[in-house]
Structure 1
Amino acid sequence: MSSIEKVYHDEDVNMDALKGKVVAIMGYGSQGRGQSNCLRDNGVNVIIGAGNKDRYPDWENAEKDGFTVYPFDEAVKKADVVMILLQDPAQPAVYYESIHQNLRPNQTLCFAHGFAILYGTIVPPEFVDVVLFVPNGPGPVVRQKFLDGSGIYGAVAVDQDVTGHAKETALAIAKGVGSTRTGTVYISFQHETEGDNFEEQVLYGGTINLMRAVYETMAKNGYPKSFAYAKAIRSIRSVIDDIDRVGIEEYLSKRCSRTCEFAVRTSGPRVINYDEIEKIFRETEKGEFAKRWLLEFQCGMPTLNRLRRTHKNSNMEVVGKEWREKFSKEV
């Protein structure tokens, strides 16, 4: 028996759940642009919902790509499936101003992250299906994988199933975007949301800060800055790609050097603070991370803006810009 849950591929999913339906994508940013173009290429009737035409670039960008664009409220009225692909903290304002009162029975409300539903910043009416489809990557990567004939791993979830076909609709969206080419799993809104929040804090946050620590330590101790930058940033790319292809143990035991294997197995665990990782996991489960982020957004993001300024002109960023220019042929 497989230790992995059911994985849905193209042959497992029927696109008929979207046949003859209008899909309105709210927002034409990274995910909106990527997913809408993939769905259209798969024969889905896609329209775009956007904010004020004079204030936001979404409208013009979508029209340039050949989509019909409507104000948010009009797009909802014309749609059978409404996909909200706006930034998490910005969703509630748009939802209650333009979407909620225009929903009708048996429509589908689809999200690309469960944040708003899990934490209750959006409470949909009881007469619509509420589903989630999330590709495991940014919109431009989703689109490029699709164009390359591949796809990117995805997940679907159902929070409300009024029609009895919510799961089929979510899987059809996943197939339309190309995720079932690679594989799509069914999970809960809670696991998707908290898993994503946890991953971004520990895996993304940890990796980026490890890169900074490696660079700063080597540069401080007299190493050439270009060499320190290459070690901190570029070296890990080939390692991750190889591990993704063959797995960690295959990489360590057969593909890297024995010196590297010894270093990874003996010194690597010393870098990881398992107690702190567990603490972050528990904070995420309790909603403490979500509360901090919502408060941060409501206050105008002072912490983020300060951290952006701190790192924007750091020595590592200056060296990195010069490094990419000098080694451009390798990029």
Structure 2
Amino acid sequence: MEFRHLGRSGLVISEIAYGNWLTHGSQVEEDAAIACVHAALDAGITTFDTADVYAATRAEAVLGRALSGQRREGLEIFTKVYWPTGPGKNDTGLSRKHIMESINGSLKRLQTDYVDLYQAHRYDTATPLEETMVAFADIVHSGKAHYIGVSEWSAEQIRAAHELATELRVPLVSSQPQYSALWRVIEAEVVPTCEELGIGQIVWSPIAQGVLTGKYLPGQQPPAGSRATDDKGGANMISRWMRDDVLERVQRLQPLAAEAGLTLAQLSVAWVLQNSNVSAAIIGASRPEQVTENVKAAGVKLDAGLLKAMDEILAPVAEFDPAKTAENSPKGRVN
């Protein structure tokens, strides 16, 4: 495993992080989920990312049990707040009430006294940013989190939050966007802003929900049991890429991966890590062997010719529009 600083902070994290969105507490039985976490630990992963909303809070609880008994100081545990976690009108968003109540619930489920990074899972248009940032600052100053971050915020929103964080003397160090060789919307605005401000990217879906593994073939039905057949949310997330023109171009990457001595999944994870503003790529897994394979992307250096060839193949079907960040954020508070 290789390690990187999270932005310009002093926090060092594994450049491959393990995330349990769409798996723990829902798609994967707990024994298998715990086996995946232990495979991640065996592979040298020290950074674990989750959120209170994943599997309606169950994912945090599973991760807490999976990490029980590990040396806490040797781990970096990240979680998030925003999406609804209960039926009440204040069980959602980034109000002070919801943030303060949510951090306590997350810590209890994760079986820890603090998280290393507490992230705003989306931007809340219904709450003043000042209210949100003061609440986050109070959580850091109370010792319940060491750092704060955001997820799927625009460059403008990140800049405004960073200004307040500086005034409040709280370290806003990370952005967690979707990023892959097919989804490149952060490159034009978010990445330059974060480079200026010293904020690192912790990217999710580096293999585009599995499309960049090459297992989905043009003109053929998805393999049984794959994410594209999952009716609990996976199929909906992957649907944008399940087009023959995309799948055909992904298959054209296979010779490039073979030339580099990598699987297509490893190549795809390594591709996001070539961006110097990326501090970590989050991988997920439903089987331990997926973890073991994907961590082999750590430390890989891809040459300029290979990167150019990948760009030429995927550019016609990749998404670059920075306005697409807004697609991952609700227009108003979700109840």
TM-score of the pair, normalised by structure 1: 0.33
Q: TM-score, normalised by structure 2?
A: 0.32
More helix by proportion, 1 or 2? 1
